[in-house]
A and B are shown apart, each in its own frame.
Chain A
Amino acid sequence: DTEVTQTPKHLVMGMTNKKSLKCEQHMGHRAMYWYKQKAKKPPELMFVYSYEKLSINESVPSRFSPECPNSSLLNLHLHALQPEDSALYLCASSQDSTGVNYGYTFGSGTRLTVV
């Protein structure tokens, strides 16, 4: 299995809703990442988990809450989002937290719309 699987593929939520994005990989990768990508822009790093511990938080607002229940799963809990948070949310994994040796494997993303 050489994939990163993200669910759901599309999500529409209201500003008072609570929802979660899910990411799963079974490649034995020990680092997992959340990226946010706005239209016509490159992905922007949000969080890095290395060996199931949060190692980087790129000053992301607290309405985004990551969770890594085990080495194969990564969640992103969403609460009280704003319309400007609408974007494509990409999950990625790599063998280790540097990601340099083999690059990142990306999922196909969750396209989030906040109404």
Chain B
Amino acid sequence: AQKVTQAQTEISVVEKEDVTLDCVYETRDTTYYLFWYKQPPSGELVFLIRRNSFDEQNEISGRYSWNFQKSTSSFNFTITASQVVDSAVYFCALSVYGQNFVFGPGTRLSVLP
């Protein structure tokens, strides 16, 4: 069975601080995909990144970066120089081919001005 854990329920930071959101996953499949979604107060889930299990390269997109480590089954997400607009709930998700997404419980990030 697949499982995603996001140990941080809520995080508060002050604007311009860096923040890392943790994600740990469990699967016995060797081929899988990991995702991060952002859910702002408006409700929609916004796709941020997809990573397959064969690509362990870290990725940077502007202020966002992701650290994928298969050895620890982790796919952590860092926001550099956080902004108030980053306030949202962030979900990590796992997908194994032929099965549907398993979402983590989410981390609520509050960025204070």
Query: Do A and B come together as binding partners?
Result: yes
Residues of A within 8 A of B (CB): 33, 40-43, 45, 48, 56, 88, 90, 92, 98-109, 111
The chain B residue with its CB closest to the CB of A31 is B100
Main SS at interface, chain A: loop
Q: A42-B91, A90-B45 are in contact. Are A100 and B97 (CB under 8 A)?
A: yes
Q: Is the CB of B91 within 8 A of A105?
A: no
* A contact residues around B96 at 8 Å (CB): 100
Other-chain residue from B43, B47, B91, B97 in contact with A108 (beta carbon distance below 8 A): B43
Closest 7 CB pairs of A and B: A42-B103, A108-B44, A106-B45, A109-B43, A100-B33, A100-B95, A103-B47
Q: Is the CB of A103 within 8 A of B35?
A: yes
**Other A-B pairs beyond A42-B103, A56-B100, A104-B101, 5, CB < 8 Å:** A43-B91, A88-B43, A90-B43, A100-B33, A104-B45
Q: What are 17 A-B contacts with C-beta separation under 8 Å?
A: A33-B100, A41-B105, A42-B91, A45-B101, A88-B43, A90-B43, A98-B97, A98-B98, A98-B99, A100-B95, A102-B50, A103-B50, A104-B47, A106-B46, A107-B44, A108-B43, A108-B44
